[in-house]
Each structure stands twice: as structure tokens, then as C-alpha cells.
A and B are shown apart, each in its own frame.
Chain A
Amino acid sequence: MSENRLREFEELVLLSVLISSPQAYGAALQQILAEEAGREVSLGAIYTALDRLGRKGLVTSKLGDPTPVRGGRRKRHYELSREGFEHVREARRIRERMWGKVAPDLLDGEVAP
């Protein structure tokens, strides 16, 4: 379904949620994106992506209980919904299948002119 196609950034956020699960919240996601993808992303952009993913039903969220860690501020925890899991699995399958068909010498980095 075309509606469910994700932008690259949304996919990265989805993966980050998966990586940091079950401790996926804004600041954590921001850090993972910086460390793993080398991207300095603003919180606003992350929230926007999470909002979209939420609307598509790929991500759910709930507010955590207040903890003294962040001065009593509650975190919103994100996790993948069933559809979300299916979506990343499907995306991974497609990618792996396609990578399998790429000629091995191209993987070494020399692209024919």
C-alpha cells in the first residue's frame, strides 16, 4: 500500500525505536540516530516522524510514570505495534532480497563509468 510506504527518515526512527526498546523515548532516539546514523536530528523532527508513524498505526506510545530521574518529568515510551513489526520485517526482507541480487564486484565500491 502506497500509504504505508515510509520515508527513509521514518524508517530510521522506526529502527531506532526497535533498537532502544523497551526504553524508546525522544532523547534516546535522538542519541541513537546520532551514534548509529551519524545524524544530528532535532527533537522536533523526531516527534514529527513519531506523530506520522503513530497516525499510520506503526508506533504506539504511552506516558511512563513519574520518576525522579528527569526531575519528575515523565517520559513517553514508544514501541512498535504489530503492524510496525510487520512493516520493518517486510522492509528488511525486500532489502535483503534485492541486495542478494546486486553483483558482488559492485559491493567493493568500484562503479563502472
Chain B
Amino acid sequence: MKKDPSTQPSRLAVSILRRICTPESRDEVEGDLLEGYAEWRSSRGDSYARRRFWREVFLLSVWRIRGGRNQAQAQHHDTHQKAQENRGSGVLLQDVRYGLRRLAKNPMSSAVAVFLLAIGIGGNATVFTVVDKTLMEPPPLIQAPQDLVGLDWALRGGSGVVFGYYDYEFYRDHGEAFSDVLAYGGFPGSQGRRTDGGGGEVVVGQGEALEQAGAWVVSGNYFKLLGVAMGLGAGFSPGIQEEEETSPEVVLSHGYWARSFGMDPSVLDRPLFLNGVAFRVAGITPRGFRGMNPGEPLPDLFVPILSAHAISLGFNQQLRRFQDDGSPSASRFLRLVARLEPGVDLVTAQAGAEVLQGRWEDEFSSWAETVYGEPYQVRLRSDFSMAPFESRLLRRQLYFLWFVMGAVFLIGCTNLAILLLATASGRVREMGIRASLGAGRRRLLSQLVTESLVLAALGGSAGLGLAYLAPGAITAVLSMSFGTSFTPDGSVVVFAILLSTLAAVLFGTTPAWTLSKVDVTTLLQRPGHGRTKARFRGGLVVTQTALSILLLIGGGLLARSVQALQRVDLGFDPDRRLIMSVQLENNGYSEAQGQAFVLAALDRLVDVPGVRSASTCNRIPFLGSNTWSFTAPGTDFAEAGMRTRFNLAGPGYFETMGIPILAGRAFTRDDLPGSPMVAVVNEVFAERMWPGESPLGKILDFVDQEVRVVGIAETAVYNSVTEAPQSHAYFPSLQLYQGRQNFIVFTEPSTSAMVDPVDKALRGLDANLGIAPMTLEGLADQQVASYRIWAALISVFAGIALILALVGLYGVQSYLVSGRTKEIGIRMALGAEGGTVVRGVVKSGLLMGGLGSLVGVGAALALGNLIRGALFGVAPNDPVVFIAVPALLLTACLVASLVPAMRASHVKPVEALAGD
């Protein structure tokens, strides 16, 4: 039968009571209290008894904390009770207090220990946060993310994530497994990703106050499908998804609104001018909305696809499958994300997509064959937020970072173990006294472990503080620029607690074990320095050396990669090349007007004092490219084309860029529309298309036109400094006009001095033009930047690791020397030279360092493949690094051993022997 709850005291109170009691006092205390409870109940009633019980428990816990039952006395007087191990949790508080007192007594070494742990735990916690927020958790504020799928296309082994608008319409209207589909992307032809905001450049404002903003085009249902409610405003009007005639609307990102409008809510009430056209501000994204891709910065502006033509004149052309003249077009710039119908899973949806594929082929196969050669397949992916290559890259970087942090953490723990072992000798006496007073081994062990836990808890809290204060420091390292930094949350606290506990176990148990073995008889003598202990300490030093070697080698390999990258022959000269980028189409220029502008601009630019030469092109290195499948009669690529990147280049382009023309000619002002179409190809292109023949005078098919090759250019770097030599073709930009014009200016003085005069020259032609200045050198530098940051990061940690290892080695050596004082004294009294003593100590230091190096080098060789992908121009077993790093370490070991060795050699035999 169940007892009436009121006859029992609170179960919680009883369980607390049990916790605060030591086993040998539990019976007594619990019995007394329950007896009291029964008495209070009968004399004063239930509620009094319950209150009183709680009060008693509370006061008993105070009694326990303040010292509780005197153990020696209790055992002394208690003949019946056998000597029992005192390991109740009541003891815990006592040990914690004791641990804190000990830490406070040695503030310096405690501070060092806490600092070491803070770095290890903080670093790991930060990486954990980023991993958790990007790889584990769906992006914030998105409703039911589990029902979202991303769409990929696959074609002949290749695949991609970017679709055309016509594809979007098809899947939106016909996908039965999808409740809706959204599309988003940068403006077509926008140049790469900007680090300060995504998408293409749009000029915002009117009259004098103009600024550039990054913009995405999104389908009108973008926010609705994601389930993201506006932070302010009602969002896009419902018609914006379907009707082209709706007046243009825009949504501002919260960040842009805060940055440029100081969070002024009245922006909703007035039109915003984008490229001179009035847009209605439909809303502000909610704070904390980061879009879908954690590795992609959010744009400033979200423009509905059907409003975008107001910004970019030719935009609606990009949406169609066929151009006005009926020729097929293949402008792809949109990523697609679908929301599955309720109850539909990925497999069913994929099957549905394949059925849909049949319909797609019926409808579009002739078009697809013209544009792609064959129809592509659609695949669904559950990770809607990132393209596979993006998540792979992010994953690799994060795990690599985690590996580094893990090594640092281990080194910190090893160092602490050494530190604790060193202080352990000073505590032998204390332990002896405790043991002689009746503390059992388990009791001593639990006290020592508690002390380690206290230390770990302090280090963990400090590390967590670090993770909260400096989350940006780590994310800055990743080559993907995150729109926001990541603030740690509850799960990272749990992670830090686990890590702290692990740390305490790693560095605390061995010293504790050693210490708890202390014999009572050691009280009578000075603690000896056992050989096993020395070997154990040596082992720790070896571990540490090995770990730092591993990190140093990693840092060294990356540093060599940076060197190699800087030595890469770009094939063009980035020095003193200023780029002024304009998008004429977006600024309202027709083709004829744009053509006239380009010619006038080129004339003006060369007249600016300090300009050596000037030209224009459609694409600049590292910021994306155009591709085309080129066919040429009488070659291997007569039918299936050779897919190659191409650029549109103005007169004087090769000269201005510093790209040598190896044979034939470059483009001139006479390569105009109407004159015969010409092309320049690079060496790789020529060799692949016409092996062993001169390409000069050969005919290429490009957009159904015959183009004659008139020149060969030296192969350069186009998309990335790490790319293998690429085939490339150039066409005259005056013959094939594009709205995007990048004016390249080769300047006499530094580019920074020339930005203003060049800008002025262009504004002389159009005062309202949006112009984005860049330098070729800056773009090339950015290519090396991520390598440089990684190399710097790992070198910093490797440096810390090295210092820690040396401190450890020094500590162990000093300790060993001090323990051998007597021995050395005797040897010197018997005539040993100081030099012999020094050699002996140094030899043991080098032995430890050498062993550690061997292990570290072995590990580095074994792990080489992990880092291979992150290296450039250097093998994972690069001999320079593998010789230099151990040499450096051994030299450092020599120095770290020399000081204690010298001290030992100055031992005066008389003092050493009198010492005890």
C-alpha cells in the first residue's frame, strides 16, 4: 500500500541529506532526523514538521561544510566501527574547498594552468560552436527545415546547383511532390562574391548620396516558403511572384538596414532608389536571419526576380529560354530549394522528380541538346543549405581546425600533468601525514582528483569565456566568410564541461595515482626520486615534443605552400593594375550607348596623367568566368565541343595586363561589330584543339558564328592560383558587347594614388555611374590570403606548443637535476669534471627531444594525406620541413637542458652533501 505522502518528509530533502552525510554518520543523522520528524508531526502538525525537516537538512549541510564530524576522534572512540573508507559526497565540498585553497596559495602556477586549459578548451569550444551551428543545426529562423530539399543537376559526370529561371518555373509548376519551390541567386553576370555582402552591385540612392549595395534576386515566395516572418513590414506583395507588371519591391537585410539607415523604421514609408528606379521597401529581414547557407554572406537587398528588370535592363532576357531572335539561351544563375508536400519523403520526391524528368525532356530536349549537348538529370539533396562542394570544403576546414585545437588541448593537458607531478614531490610529506592520520588510499585519490577537477572547472570557465568573447577570431580563419559570428549556446557549455572533465582525468589522475601511493614511512625520509617516476615524466615530455613536432610540421608545410603560391607565375602582371568595374546595362545603357561609352572611356583614360595604358574586359582573374563548348571543323572537337572558359577583351588588353602574345596579333580598335570575327587563344587551347599545328588562321565555331584565330597568348592563371593550366579563349569586347565592363588601368605611380583621377575621368562621362574600384594585386593577394591565415594560425599554435614543450622539458630537467644534487655532489667530490655533468644532463634532454621528434615525424608522415588537399606546391613529406623542424626542436631542447645542467655543474660537493 502506498503511504500517505504527508507522513513522510520530502524525498528530495532526504536524498540531499544522504548526500551530505558520510557513510559512517548516515545512520545516526538520518535516524535522529526521522525520529525528530515523527515527534514534530505529532506535536506541531504536518506542515511544521516538513518545514522543520528542510531547515534541519539545510543546517546539517552547513555543519558538514564547516568540518563535520571529526574523523580521527570518531574512529578513535569508536571501537565497533571498522576503519571505513570515507568517500561520501559530503567529503566533496571539503575537497573542493581544499583544492581552491591550494590554488590560491600558488597564484602564479595556478594562473598558468588555468590559462593553458582556457586556450585548449576555449579553442575547442569555439570550433564546436561553429561546427554545431553550420554542420549540425539547420539555419536559424527557417520553419520545418526538414521538409526542404535542394535541387542539383547532373550531366555527364558533372553536376551543379545553379539553374535557369525557365527550370525554376517548370519545377515550381509541375513538381507534384513539392508544395512550393523558391529560387535565389546573384544578378547574372555579377562578379564573384564580395566579402562584405553577397550578390551583384546595385547603386542605392538619388542625387549626391549614392552607395553600392549587394543584391540577390529571389523568387517572390522566398520568405514565405522558408516561413521567415519579416522583422518589419509585410514582406513582398502576393502578386510579385506571378506578374511582371507589379511595381518593383525590395526587402532589406537587417544588417544593411542597421548599417545604412540606422534602423530607421520610416524607410518603409518612402521609395528607395535602386539604379535610379523607385522601389517600394516591402520589409526588413528579422534580426538573426542568415539565409540558408552558413558559409555565404547575406546580401544587402533582396529583389524579386520579376522586379529585377527595373534594375538591370536586359534582365528579363536572362529569364527566357530563347532570345528575341529565337536562338536558345542558357542563362543559369538561380539556386532552387523546394518544400516537400506534407508526408512526402526524399525518396518519394526523388522518384517524382524522375517522372517529372520525362516530361521535362519531352518539352525541352531539343533546346537542351542545343545548349548542353544532352538533357540533364535533376537530383534532390536533403542538405538544402549548401551545395555538396561547399559543405565538403567547410567540413574539411572545420575538422582540420578541430584537429589542431585538439592537439593544443592535449599539449596543455600533458603540460599540466608535468606541472602537477613537479609539485607532487612537494606534497609527498602532506600525503604521508594524511595517510598516517588514517586517510585511506581511495580517500587521498579522490581528494587529488577533486583538486584536478577544480582546476579543470576554472580552466573550462575561462575557456568558455574566451569562446563567448572571441567567436569571430576563429570564423575569420575559414575561407568562407560567415555573415555573422557564432555565439555559443547551451550545448557548448555541456561540451566545455565534458572537455574539462576529460582534461582533469588526463592531467590529474597520474599525479594523483603516484601521490596516493605514498607510504607512511616516507614521512621519515626525504622523498626519493624513483626511476619509474623519472621515466614517466620523460614519457610526458616525449608526448609533448611529438605533438608540437606534428603541429610545427603542419605549420611549416602551410608556410611553404604560401611561399610556393607567391612564386606562382600568374601569367599576367598584377603590379600597379587598377580595375574600375562598371555594369553599364544596370545603369540604363543600351548596347549602342554602352559601346560609345567604352570607346570614349578608353580615350579618356589614356589621357589621365600617370596612366601607362588602359583597356577593358568582361571578366577579371579570380572573379568568375564565362564558359562555352567550342567546336572546330576537322578536329577531335568537331561535334562535341571543348568546354573552355573565355573572356571578352578590349584593344590593348594583353599589353595592359602584361600577358605576352606569343604569335599573331592582339585585338585592336578595328575589331568592331561588322568586321570579321577574330579570337586569341592560349597555348593550352591551341595544343588541345589543334595538337602539333599552328592555330593561327584556324576557324572556331562560337555562338553559330565562324571565328578566325589571329593570335596565341601565353597561358595565365584565370580562376585560382592553384588551378592546373587551363585552356582559354579571348574575343574582342568591341565585337561582342557586354554590359559588364572592367576597365584595367596600368598606372605609373601606385594604384591607390590613381583611384581618384581615374574615377574622375569616368565620371566625366557619367556622373551617376556606379563604379567599383579594385586592384589586380589585391585580388591576387586574396588568393593567397586564406593559405596565409591558416599557416599563421597553425604556426601560432605550433609556437605555443613548442614553448609548452620546452617549459615541460625544462621543468623535468630541473627536477631531475635537483633530485640528483647529492649524487652529483659525490661524483664531483670524487673528481668528476663539471663538463661531464653538463654532458650527462644535456644528453638526457636530447634523448627525450629526439624520441619525441621521431614519434612526431612518424605521425606527421602517417597523417600527411589528411593535409595534402590543403597544401600547394609542396609535398606532405617535404624534406626541408621534415629536417628543419626537428633540428629546430632539438636545438631548443639543448637550450632548455643547458640551464639546469649548468646549475648542476656548479653544485658544491660540501653543500650538496650537507643538504640533507
Seen from chain A, the residues whose Cβ lies within 8 Å of a Cβ on chain B are: 25-27, 30-31, 42-45, 47-48, 51, 54-55, 60-63, 66, 70-71, 73-76
Q: Which chain B residues border A66 with CB–CB below 8 Å?
A: 27
Distance in angstroms from A62 CB to nearest chain B CB is: 6
Chain B minimum-CB-distance residue to A56: B73
Among B32, B61, B74, the residue within 8 A (CB) of A26 is B32
The answer to whether B56 touches A43 (Cβ under 8 A) is yes
The answer to whether B59 touches A43 (Cβ under 8 A) is yes
Given contacts A54-B73, A55-B73, contact A61 B78 (CB under 8 A): yes
Chain B minimum-CB-distance residue to A67: B31
Among B62, B70, B81, the residue within 8 A (CB) of A44 is B62
Chain B minimum-CB-distance residue to A52: B70
The answer to whether B69 touches A74 (Cβ under 8 A) is no
CA distance A60 to B69 in the complex (A): 13
CA distance A48 to B79 in the complex (A): 21
Given contacts A44-B56, A44-B59, A51-B70, contact A27 B27 (CB under 8 A): no
CA distance A15 to B66 in the complex (A): 25
Sample (7) of A-B pairs whose CB atoms are under 8 Å apart: A42-B56, A47-B29, A51-B70, A63-B78, A70-B34, A71-B34, A74-B28
Which chain B residues in 771-813 approach chain A with CB under 8 Å? none
Judge whether B346 is part of the interface by a CB distance below 8 angstroms: no
Chain A minimum-CB-distance residue to B64: A44
Chain A minimum-CB-distance residue to B78: A62
The answer to whether B77 touches A75 (Cβ under 8 A) is no
Distance in angstroms from B317 CB to nearest chain A CB is: 86
Distance in angstroms from B23 CB to nearest chain A CB is: 12
CA distance A25 to B32 in the complex (A): 8
Q: Which chain B residues border A62 with CB–CB below 8 Å?
A: 77-80
Q: Which chain A residues border B374 with CB–CB below 8 Å?
A: none
Distance in angstroms from A43 CB to nearest chain B CB is: 5
Q: Which chain B residues border A51 with CB–CB below 8 Å?
A: 67-70, 73
Judge whether B603 is part of the interface by a CB distance below 8 angstroms: no
The answer to whether B59 touches A73 (Cβ under 8 A) is no
Judge whether B392 is part of the interface by a CB distance below 8 angstroms: no
How many chain B residues touch the partner (CB < 8 A)? Answer: 32
Judge whether B520 is part of the interface by a CB distance below 8 angstroms: no
CA distance A75 to B80 in the complex (A): 13
Which chain B residues in 28-85 approach chain A with CB under 8 Å? 28-36, 39, 55-56, 59-63, 66-70, 73-74, 77-81
CA distance A42 to B51 in the complex (A): 12
Interface of B is mostly: helix
Given contacts A25-B32, A74-B28, contact A45 B59 (CB under 8 A): yes
Q: Which chain B residues border A73 with CB–CB below 8 Å?
A: 27-28, 30-31, 34
CA distance A6 to B74 in the complex (A): 20
Distance in angstroms from B56 CB to nearest chain A CB is: 5
Among A44, A55, A60, A63, the residue within 8 A (CB) of B63 is A44
- Contact pattern, B 11-37, Cβ under 8 Å of A = 1, otherwise 0: 000000000000011011111111110
B28, B29, B73 — which one has the most chain A CB atoms within 10 A of its CB? B28
Seen from chain B, the residues whose Cβ lies within 8 Å of a Cβ on chain A are: 24-25, 27-36, 39, 55-56, 59-63, 66-70, 73-74, 77-81
B35, B66, B70 — which one has the most chain A CB atoms within 10 A of its CB? B35
Q: Which chain B residues border A45 with CB–CB below 8 Å?
A: 59, 63
Chain B minimum-CB-distance residue to A40: B52
CA distance A11 to B32 in the complex (A): 21
Q: Which chain A residues border B32 with CB–CB below 8 Å?
A: 25-27, 30, 43, 75
Among A43, A60, A61, A76, the residue within 8 A (CB) of B36 is A43
The answer to whether A54 touches B60 (Cβ under 8 A) is no
Chain B minimum-CB-distance residue to A31: B39
Q: Which chain A residues border B61 with CB–CB below 8 Å?
A: 44
Q: Which chain B residues border A44 with CB–CB below 8 Å?
A: 56, 59-63
Distance in angstroms from B77 CB to nearest chain A CB is: 5
The answer to whether B77 touches A60 (Cβ under 8 A) is yes
Distance in angstroms from A112 CB to nearest chain B CB is: 41
The answer to whether B36 touches A30 (Cβ under 8 A) is yes
Q: Which chain B residues border A42 with CB–CB below 8 Å?
A: 55-56, 59-60
Distance in angstroms from B832 CB to nearest chain A CB is: 55
CA distance A18 to B55 in the complex (A): 27
Q: Which chain B residues border A71 with CB–CB below 8 Å?
A: 31, 34
The answer to whether A54 touches B70 (Cβ under 8 A) is yes
Distance in angstroms from A75 CB to nearest chain B CB is: 6
A51-B70, A71-B31, A75-B31 known; 15 other A-B pairs, CB under 8 Å?
A26-B28, A26-B33, A27-B31, A31-B39, A42-B55, A44-B56, A48-B63, A54-B70, A60-B77, A61-B74, A63-B24, A63-B27, A70-B31, A70-B34, A73-B27
Chain B minimum-CB-distance residue to A54: B73
Chain B minimum-CB-distance residue to A47: B63
Distance in angstroms from A29 CB to nearest chain B CB is: 9
Q: Which chain A residues border B29 with CB–CB below 8 Å?
A: 26, 43, 47
CA distance A31 to B32 in the complex (A): 11
CA distance A74 to B80 in the complex (A): 12
Among B31, B35, B66, B70, the residue within 8 A (CB) of A74 is B31
The answer to whether B28 touches A76 (Cβ under 8 A) is yes
Distance in angstroms from A107 CB to nearest chain B CB is: 33
